[in-house]
Amino acid sequence: MNPAYEGPPPSIQPALRWLRAGVMAGFTTLALLAALLTPVQARAPVRTPATTRTVLVMGDSLSAAYGIPAAQGWVSLLGTRLKAAAPGWSVVNASVSGETTAGGLSRLPRQLQRLRPSVVVIELGANDGLRGLPVARMQANLDSMVRQSRASGARVLILGMRMPPNLGRTYTEGFASAYAQVARRHDAALLPFFLQPVMLDRRAFQADNLHPTAAVQGRLLDHVWPALRPLVK
Phi, psi of 72 (to 5 degrees): -100, 0
**Residue 18 in domain:** no
CA pair distance 72, 64, nearest whole angstrom: 10
Is 97 labeled as catalytic in the residue annotation?
no
Is 211 labeled as catalytic in the residue annotation?
yes
Mean pLDDT over residues 102-116, rounded?
98
Q: Which of 90, 97, 186, 211 is catalytic?
A: 211
CA pair distance 85, 91, nearest whole angstrom: 13
**Residue 90 in domain:** yes
**Residue 48 in domain:** no
CA pair distance 193, 46, nearest whole angstrom: 47
Q: Which of 61, 95, 149, 152 is catalytic?
A: 61
Q: Which residues form the domain of 167?
A: 54-231
User: Exposed, middle or buried by CB within 10 Å (0-12, 13-18, 19+), for 160?
Assistant: buried
Q: What percent of the chain has pLDDT over 70?
A: 78
**Residue 45 in domain:** no
One-letter amino acid for residue 191 of the chain: L
pLDDT exceeds 70 at position 222: yes
pLDDT at 40: 37
**Residue 49 in domain:** no
Stated pTM of the model: 0.79
**Residue 38 in domain:** no
Closest residue by Cα to residue 54 from 121, 148, 135? 121
Give the CATH number of the domain where residue 60 resides. 3.40.50.1110
Is 106 labeled as catalytic in the residue annotation?
no
**Residue 24 in domain:** no
* DSSP labels, 161-223: ----GGG-HHHHHHHHHHHHHHHHHHT-EEES-TTTTTTT-GGGB-TTSSSB-GGGHHHHHHH
User: Structural domain tally of the chain?
Assistant: 1
**Residue 33 in domain:** no
Residue length of the chain: 233
Q: What is the tens place of the pLDDT at every residue in 19-75?
A: 344 434 444 443 433 333 334 343 444 333 356 899 999 999 999 999 999 999 999
Between 6 and 95, residue with greater pLDDT: 95
